[in-house]
């Protein structure tokens, strides 16, 4: 794609509507400096200078789609706790973004705390419950999804971090609902059994997830994985993200297409997969072809990993990348 085509794609995206459903995460960064070891144990002492909060998981997907200009609705579950309030606050006043967050008092809001000292991540703490939703809360999520699918989004995103929201009681009726309406359904998977996502339009595993799904060793060439992946997905396309190598798109019946990554310094890979899913789904919602949508997503991911923390890419950055 050239700059003119990208500019036109962005104009189309800004008329699109996207529904995002999945696991919400509060990403917390504790930033500081480490110049000495603790006398209590051979570990660095981090002198905290700043704490930053970012919406992560499905919330980051929604934020990215909205930042591109797509009208975006986010459905997810938070706990009845301070972290849930902080996550809600981080999503307020975001242009083009509406939220429908269901409060479940029986589970905490998922939070990942990363301690970063002098630019290097020292440790990460995960606060989470990974069990599936209760029948009551799952029914609430499905009801919300049904209501909003009927309102006419142009694409559905399922952001699965295996934190319990996309349990079978939510996943299957949601995919079937999108399929019945002829909507593109993009899935960022975490389940090893990819057959759970049958009926989706495109599934976006990373290379490690793709290897695990077909029982292959890490390092297996991507092209050897594509046939078994398609068989597991039963008709869905697959976009395998490969880090610094870029990504490979396989549409059933077509030759695979490899999209190389643009060489640039990598600062932080956190949230890069969310960027891919957001840009891909927003483009599909705008009526852009899958190959062109994947090309946009590939370039956007390169921008995302060059920045610290969980970031959303704006249209001007995409245009500048294609100019470069």
**pLDDT, tens digit, 9 for 90 and up, residues 139-189:** 999 999 999 999 889 999 999 999 999 999 999 999 999 999 999 999 999
Q: Which residues contact 175 (CB under 8 A, 6 or more apart)?
A: 158, 185, 187, 197, 198, 199, 200
Q: Answer yes or no: is 50 within a domain.
A: no
**Can you give the pLDDT at residue 265?**
52
Is 124 inside a domain boundary? no
Whether 177 maps to a domain, the answer reads yes
pLDDT of 305 > 80? The answer is no
On whether residue 116 sits in a domain, the answer given is: no
Residues 99 and 26: their CA atoms lie apart, in Å, by: 15
Q: Is residue 201 within 8 Å of residue 186, measured between CB atoms?
A: yes
pLDDT at 306: 58
What's the CATH number where 101 sits?
Answer: 3.40.1190.20
The model's pLDDT over 233-289, given as tens digits with 9 standing for 90+, comes to: 998 999 999 988 899 999 999 999 999 987 555 444 555 789 999 999 999 999 999
| Cα(17)–Cα(141) distance, integer angstroms | 19
**CA distance linking residue 16 with residue 11, whole number of Å:** 9
Domain, as residue range, for 273: 3-26+55-109+129-323
Average pLDDT over residues 13-20: 96
> Which residue among 81, 254, 274, 314 is the active-site one?
274
Q: Is 274 a catalytic residue?
A: yes
Domain for residue 18, yes or no? yes
Q: Which of 10-14, 272-276, 303-307 has the highest mean pLDDT?
A: 10-14
Instruction: Give the total number of structural domains in the chain.
Output: 1
Alpha carbon 300 to chain centroid distance?
Answer: 13
**pTM for this one?**
0.91
- Residue-wise pLDDT for 63-102, tens only, equals 999 999 999 999 999 999 999 999 999 999 889 999 999 9
Instruction: Output the average pLDDT for the chain.
Output: 91
What pLDDT shows up at residue 133? 97
**Predicted local distance difference test score (pLDDT) of residue 315:** 80
């Amino acid at each position: 794609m050239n700059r003119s085509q990208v500019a036109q794609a962005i104009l189309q995206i800004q008329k699109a509507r996207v529904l995002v459903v999945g696991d919400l995460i509060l990403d917390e960064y504790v930033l500081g400096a480490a110049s000495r070891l603790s006398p209590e144990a051979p570990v660095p002492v981090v002198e905290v200078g700043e704490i930053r909060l970012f919406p992560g998981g499905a919330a980051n997907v929604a934020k990215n789609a909205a930042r591109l200009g797509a009208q975006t609705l986010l459905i997810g579950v938070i706990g009845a706790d301070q972290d849930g309030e902080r996550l809600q606050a981080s999503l307020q006043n975001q242009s083009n973004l509406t939220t429908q967050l269901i409060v479940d008092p029986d589970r905490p809001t998922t939070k990942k705390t990363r301690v970063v000292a002098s630019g290097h991540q020292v440790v990460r703490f995960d606060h989470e419950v990974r069990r599936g939703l209760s029948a009551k809360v799952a029914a609430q999520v499905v009801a919300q999804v049904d209501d909003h699918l009927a309102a006419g989004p142009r694409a559905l995103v399922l952001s699965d971090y295996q934190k319990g929201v996309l349990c079978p009681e939510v996943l299957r009726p949601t995919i079937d609902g999108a399929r019945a309406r002829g909507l593109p359904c993009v899935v960022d998977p975490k389940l090893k059994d990819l057959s759970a996502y049958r009926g989706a339009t495109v599934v976006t595993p990373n290379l490690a997830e793709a290897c695990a799904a077909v029982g292959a060793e890490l390092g297996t060439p991507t092209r050897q994985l594509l046939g078994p992946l398609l068989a597991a997905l039963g008709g869905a396309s697959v976009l395998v993200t490969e880090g610094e190598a870029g990504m490979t798109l396989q549409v059933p019946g077509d030759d695979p297409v490899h999209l190389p990554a643009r060489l640039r310094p990598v600062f932080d890979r956190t949230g890069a997969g969310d960027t891919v899913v957001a840009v891909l789904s927003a483009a599909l919602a705008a009526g852009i072809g899958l190959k062109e949508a994947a090309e946009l997503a590939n370039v956007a991911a390169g921008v995302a990993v060059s920045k610290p923390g969980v970031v959303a890419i704006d249209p001007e950055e995409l245009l500048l990348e294609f100019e470069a």
